Amino acid sequence: MQSVDVTTLTAICHDLQSHWLPAKVEQVYQKDPYTISIALRTLKKRSWLTISWHPQAARLCIGDPPPRTPDTFTFSDQLRHQLNGFALVNLKMISPWERVVNLQFAKRPGDETVWHLYVEIMGKYSNVILTDNKQQIVTVAHQVNANQSTVRTVQTGRSYELPPTLTGTFPKSEESQERWQERVSLIPGSIKEQLLNSYRGLSPVVAASLIKKAGLKTEQSTENLTVAEWNELYKLWQVWLKSFQNQNFQPGYTENGYTVLGWGIIEPKINIQTLIDNYYTKEINQEKFKQLKHQLQQKLKSCLKKLYNKANNFQQKMEQSSEAEEYRQKGDLLMAHSYQWEPGMNSMTLKDFETDKPIKIPLNPEKNAIQNAQNLYKKHQKLKRAKGAVEPLLKEVQEEINYLEQVEDSLQQIDNYNSPEDLQTLQEIKEELIQQNYLTSRTQQTQNIPDESQPYQHKTPSGFEVWIGRNNRQNDRLTFRTAGDYDLWFHTQESAGSHVLLRLEPGAKPNEADLNCAADWAAYHSRARQSEQVPVVYTEPKYVYKPKGAKPGMVIYKREKVLWGKPHKIQYYLKNQG
């Protein structure tokens, strides 16, 4: 993930100074442990200023409104108490090469500054600190005591000290090419490393883009550069430095991230605030997506492994119980032929009543025939009782396996993060597992779940819509809230998968191709996706029921018809679409 460097921060601050000063603070909201949003209103517009001290994504930019969920964080509560109703009257970096921004607040524009909000964007050491006009710390996002740092403490009630200043040479546009080249080439090495080692304030991203713009490779040695290549590098060096002086920035996305210098951009003419907000929102969501998917996969894998073992044990007991009738039959044979018993016998071979085949019956030599028969009857009764006890347990375990396999299938359908909808779907799955007591609840982390995610939507050959549930919450919503009287409901037969709706208007009749298309989608979004053909049932939604006490997504149906879904058709379709 690309970090906000000095160049980017300078561009952000310049844009904020130009368009958002002065602005009234109307609200402060903290949506997670690393991010606050401040509602700003100017004479012409209103938006939210995002301030983050995330270890990998610290930033400052105008962003989207926060979610409509309760804010329970102490830091934002303290900021609300101090800043609400005040005006943001100034915003500036404390030094051209330091990534610390001082946001100044007064009662109204033109008045003396009352509060300073210092935003320190320094990777894992990032922080946000509120002080009064005497530089006394009032509240801080992350307190740092003497045990955590011997260089600088940041604690409520203490005087605010700026981070230790960077040492070394800072870039200057007045520096001659001769002196600049001498400094960079003093120690032979790769051009990128030598630029970074020679100057402070230059980020790896800017150095790499500068070298690429010059037509060179980052690992190319300074010893091998020609005069023309040195000239081109210095020229671009000056372009970079003058972008600071002239506040001339060209933000845009690059192949691997973004830039504000216009070098290597693939999507130009984008507002700097929009670029920063979109980039980091996407990157953070991708990280959350990976972590959450891994967490859910591991939990489901662990739960299913235990359930499979339990089901196997119950199945073995059921198989043993099938021997109960055999014990009864042997007991009957012994009772009928007890007169043949002689003391000391270890076994008797008797003919079966029905088949007339000989059956060898082991005996306890210390007991007579009647007593041995009674033992066989006892074993018969014991196994019969065990079967009656195990059957409902096996059914219960199998139902739980079916449910978790359904959840696992929903999880497998979401391969990668492509949109906020993907993360939202995972968050709903997590919330469902918490509600079903498979995961423990952490209120602080689960409260910001969006209202509702949306199902997949596709078209049949005739133009009818096919809606596909992405998780059990969506499945239930599609089946019992969304489905209309004229729709058709699809699901794979005896296999975990998504609920699928073929949406139909009154009087509309789908043809065979439409039905097969919906069946193909149902087969593709199922646990049997890799099969050549998958049996898919379809019926009217009114014939789909949720049994009392059933888990999310679990239903029964009747009056169904069966089609053969072909998942490979959908795979081919998606491949061509992509």
User: Of residues 360 and 442, which shows the higher confidence score?
Assistant: 360
426 and 285, same structural domain? yes
pLDDT of residue 447: 43
pLDDT of residue 353: 86
388 and 406, same structural domain? no
116 and 220, same structural domain? no
533 and 487, same structural domain? yes
Calpha distance 385→308 (Å, rounded): 23
101 and 56, same structural domain? yes
Look up the CATH number of the domain holding residue 119. Answer: 2.30.310.10
Length of the chain: 578
551 and 413, same structural domain? no
Number of structural domains found in the chain: 5
Calpha distance 86→106 (Å, rounded): 6
What DSSP string describes 355-410?
A: T--EEEEE--TTS-HHHHHHHHHHHHHHHHHHHHHHHHHHHHHHHHHHHHHHHHHH
Q: What is the mean pLDDT of residues 117-140?
A: 95
300 and 433, same structural domain? yes
Work out whether the CA dihedral 330, 335, 338, 343 comes out positive or negative. positive
Structure tokens at 485: 């009287």
116 and 12, same structural domain? yes
408 and 373, same structural domain? no
Share of the chain above pLDDT 90, in %: 75
Taking Cα atoms as reference points, which of 1, 61, 578 lies closest to residue 282? 1
- Domain containing residue 12: 6-140
Calpha distance 194→23 (Å, rounded): 43
Calpha distance 572→402 (Å, rounded): 29
Provide the whole-model pTM.
0.79
Strand 488-492: give its sheet, edge to edge: 456-459, 465-468, 500-503, 488-492, 534-539, 561-565
Residue written as token pair 């320190």: 120
Look up the CATH number of the domain holding residue 225. Answer: 1.10.8.50
Calpha distance 532→440 (Å, rounded): 39
209 and 77, same structural domain? no
Structure tokens at 397: 């375990």
The domain boundary residue, chosen from 399, 416, 448: 399
470 and 388, same structural domain? no
Q: Which residues contact 431 (CB under 8 A, 6 or more apart)?
A: 446, 449
Q: Is the pLDDT of residue 485 over 60?
A: yes
pLDDT band at 442 (very low <50, low <70, confident <90, very high): low
Q: Is the pLDDT of residue 372 over 70?
A: yes
The domain boundary residue, chosen from 246, 270, 303: 246
pLDDT band at 206 (very low <50, low <70, confident <90, very high): very high
pLDDT band at 78 (very low <50, low <70, confident <90, very high): very high
pLDDT band at 164 (very low <50, low <70, confident <90, very high): confident
Q: What is the mean pLDDT of residues 551-563?
A: 94
Taking Cα atoms as reference points, which of 522, 518, 285 lies closest to residue 424? 285
* Out of 267-276, 294-303, 510-519, 526-535, least confident range: 267-276
286 and 424, same structural domain? yes
User: Of residues 316 and 306, which shows the higher confidence score?
Assistant: 306
Cβ burial of 443 (10 Å; 0-12, 13-18, 19+) is: exposed
**Does residue 344 lie within any of the structural domains?**
yes
**Does residue 172 lie within any of the structural domains?**
no
